[in-house]
Homo-oligomer: A and B are copies of this chain.
Amino acid sequence: MKVGSLCACFLAKRGYQIQVYEAREDLRKAKHQRGKSINLALSHRGRFALRSVGLEEKVLENAVPMEGRLLHSISNATKSIAYDKHTNQCIYSVSRNILNEILLTAAEKYPNVKLFFQCKLKDVFLKEGKCVIYDSKTKEILNIEADLIIGADGAFSRVRRCLQQTPLFHLNQSYIEHGYLELSVPSERGHLLVPNLLHIWPRGEFMMIALPNSDGSWTVTLFMSLEKFKEIDSKKKLKIFFEQHFPDAIDIIGKEALEREFLSSSPNYFISLKCNPYHFQDRALIIGDAAHAMVPFYGQGMNCGFEDCTVLDQLLEVHGKCSFDIVLEKFTQRRREDVHAICDLAMYNYIEMRDLVTRPTFHARKIIDDFLYKLLPTIWLPLYNSVSFTNTRYSVCMRNRQWQNKVLSIGLCILTVILFVSIFCLM
């Protein structure tokens, strides 16, 4: 919904006639808001895209800044790590629903955009540029023709399923054996958590995090192996588990709320999906989760989807006067490497968040990175900073990290040799 409506804004600004079909009802009118509630972390790429359509300010008004991570140890000690010590840049926690509302309202304001809700895509005829859509309000089947079909229809995208039937379409869809379950801290207890930080309880094989909401409440998410979730099936087991691993969180969430929320829900799964190409001739394109569903551990899922819109807009600026085929071809060429890189980085960051952050080597590296970044700000940009606070292509961020690793390894070798030589000379 987010990426689709943002894309509609971008295209509307360029004068195209846009029809947006959304399977769910209009959440601004819905009594019960369903769907994933996991908070979203908005960072530079997402902000850049929102700014381009004049929505950054409005979104940030409804978001809560997070300046760093606060690590909770088992002994209830905490340690904070700023995202960016020198320039004080931060990421923003934003509610999925508020963001969707802002984007839908903005898209609707363009006279050349029409929104249709409760309209579910049933089939796509790629070559003919035709969509078969079921309108559940009128119970009618709509046959829609378009010059370009853009599928921003999520990880289980039907447009992608049609692309998947065309020759030379590569797809890699996998699940991690871990799931997530959401808990919450109500606003009246919100003060128990230090504000403006992303709280993490890293426990090696699993972890819990908390993100702030603008009303003072917090959304807590427990990430853990599906097997471990299965094991904890009673109040007693839940109590033992939390007392052992997250003792300080029991009071923050509240014992009764914890039992109610944990035992009444089942964990959700994480899909990770890479594919290629993202387009079919000059007829169809997939963006957002439809093109690259990633695990949420880098907080880049939405930012990457929003960046798809920026890239598409830039390509339309340069090549849009020709036909769509050059634009779409170049979109695939441009995004493939970057999108695969961030999918891999997101997978890696789960290990960093739940385990590596507790190790001295992680903190030593962070100190070295911060020092070199201050010394050589244009040359030594740490990975997290370049991903979250710049528009640097994801693939370049990844390659920078690789050469930085090499430099540090060589540096470490030289230091070791100097140390040995010094000891030898002293003896």
Contacts and interface: CB of A to CB of B under 8 A. Distances in A.
Interface of A: 156, 161, 164-165, 167-175, 269
A217 B279 CA distance: 42
A269 B171 contact: no
Contact of A175 (B169, B173, B174, B269): B169
A173 B166 CA distance: 12
Nearest to A172: B172
Contacts of A168: 175, 269
A167 B161 contact: no
Q: What number of copies of this chain does the assembly contain?
A: 2
A171 B170 contact: no
Nearest to A173: B171
Given A167-B269, A170-B174, 4 more contacts: A164-B173, A168-B269, A172-B173, A172-B174
Contacts of A173: 164, 169-172
Nearest to A276: B174
A181 to B, nearest CB: 14
Which 9 residue pairs are nearest across A and B when measured between Cβ atoms? A171-B173, A167-B269, A168-B175, A170-B174, A172-B172, A156-B165, A171-B171, A168-B269, A170-B175
17 contacts: A164-B173, A167-B175, A167-B269, A168-B175, A168-B269, A169-B173, A169-B175, A170-B173, A170-B174, A170-B175, A171-B171, A171-B172, A171-B173, A171-B174, A172-B172, A172-B173, A172-B174
A390 to B, nearest CB: 32
Contacts of A161: 161
Contacts of A165: 156
A95 to B, nearest CB: 25
Contacts of A167: 175, 269
Contacts of A169: 173, 175
Contacts of A175: 167-170
A164 B164 CA distance: 12
Contacts of A156: 165
A170 B168 CA distance: 19
